[in-house]
Amino acid sequence: MSRASTRFDSKKVNSELVTLTYGALVAQMVKDAENTDDVGKQLERLGYNMGVRLIEDFLAKTGTGKCMDLKDTADKIQSAFKMYLGLQPNVSNWSPAGDEFSFLLDCNPLTDLVELPEDLKNLKYCNVICGAIRGALEMVQLDVHSWIIQDQLKGDPCTEIRVKFIRRLEDALPAGED
Amino acid sequence: MTEETIFDLLHSAVVDYVVQSDGKASENSIKADAKDEDLSKLEYIGFFTGYRMIERLTREMPRFKDELDTMKFICTDFWSAIYKKQIDNLRTNHLGVYVLQDNAFRFLTKLSNGKQYLDLAPRYVTFTCGVLRGCLANLGIESIVTAEIQTMPSCKFHIQVQRPC
């Protein structure tokens, strides 16, 4: 084996690579799509597809079992944030019914080096995270709705991602089996 | 700091996006002739990624001595930072053609080693062609980058430097 990467911190490079690739992709989508809402939707879908696959990786690497309740789910997503994006969001703003909560991100690797131009101010740049949460939870039989409330790119002090529990998905039995 | 898995997933998401958005334009022709898929958007996304990437990586480095020195940098440090291994073989005719051979290219190692997905392989290397072209462009070398895959998962990137006449 020849000399490994000596000059670069490969973790940092990888993180920048993700940021830049994502940025280039969004730029292309903005160019292709007619309006910014469409781009938001596409990013959500893209995140969903990533989440569906990411959950497998997460379960395999961490060996976590079933979530007992939504608090437990929130904690696990928090650890997934740490694992995949290297950040520790706060879980807060629980609704009285306990079916809604927020992740507060004070920095976000996806939005490093990013600035939104004036005409794209309503672009939901980080929608991919919402999609990923939804996709991942769907694979563990939780139907949730996830959206962005605050966004640093729009001048808010932090990025806030809201998650609302909708229902528990039941395994559908194949027809003819009991 | 993001996990490597995220980049792999993001890369396949980018590929999916491009393939789908082109698929809408020419629904039927895709399956019939995968070789004619239009992957230029994918190359373009790669180009901008590479262009910006290299700017940040080489910010505090001394200037490269010459073209070959630049290529060596790409094959060793750059490649191992991004693709977790170095290029296995670098060849050149000293007239502006370089061939970079990677015997186990990161995005192809997860596909079958047989011939099964050979026609789909271009989808997974086009982004990297763009990245290479972008890197070189920002280092002052204009080029055309193409990829050649004969057996999976090895891949040869041909770089043809465009010289001003």
pLDDT at A45: 92
Q: What is the pTM of this model?
A: 0.87
> Which of B17, B41, B49 shows the shortest C-beta gap to A20?
B49
Tracing tokens 């790119």 back to the chain, one arrives at A153
| Cross-chain Cβ contact B1/A28 below 8 Å | no
Contacts of B9 in chain A (CB under 8 A): 50, 53-54
The whole-angstrom separation of Cα B93 and Cα B106 is 26
The one-character DSSP state at B64 is P
Cross-chain Cβ contact A20/B52 below 8 Å: yes
Beta-sheet strand order (sheet of B143-148): B89-92, B97-102, B155-161, B143-148
ipTM of the complex model: 0.86
First to last CA, chain B: 44
Q: How many CB pairs under 8 A join A and B?
A: 103
H or E segment and range at residue B127: helix B121-138
A17 touches B: beta carbon within 8 Å: yes
The pLDDT of residue B91: 92
Q: What are A130-169's pLDDT values in tens digits? A: 999 999 999 998 999 999 998 888 888 889 999 999 988 8
Residue B165 pLDDT grade (very low, low, confident, very high; cuts 50, 70, 90): low
Task: Name the helix (H) or strand (E) containing B123.
Answer: helix B121-138
H, E, C per residue of chain B: CCCHHHHHHHHHHHHHHHHHHHHHHCCCHHHHCHHHCCCHHHHHHHHHHHHHHHHHHCCCCCCCCCHHHHHHHHHHHHHHHHHCCCCCEEEECCCCEEEEEECCCCCCCCCCCCCCCHHHHHHHHHHHHHHHHHHHHHCCCCEEEEEECCCCCCEEEEEEECCCC
In this prediction, residue B102 carries a pLDDT of 92
Please list, in sequence order, all residues whose beta carbon lies within 8 angstroms of the beta carbon of residue A21, skipping any fewer than 6 positions away: B7, B10, B11, B14, B45, B49
pLDDT in tens, A57-104: 999 988 888 878 889 999 999 999 988 888 889 998 999 998 999 999
Chain A residues within 8 A of B110 when measuring between CB atoms: none
pLDDT of residue A2: 42
Q: How many CA atoms lie within 13 A of B144 on its CB side?
A: 5
Residue from the list B2, B41, B45 with its beta carbon closest to the beta carbon of A15: B2
B40-57 and B121-138 helices, crossing angle to 10°: 40
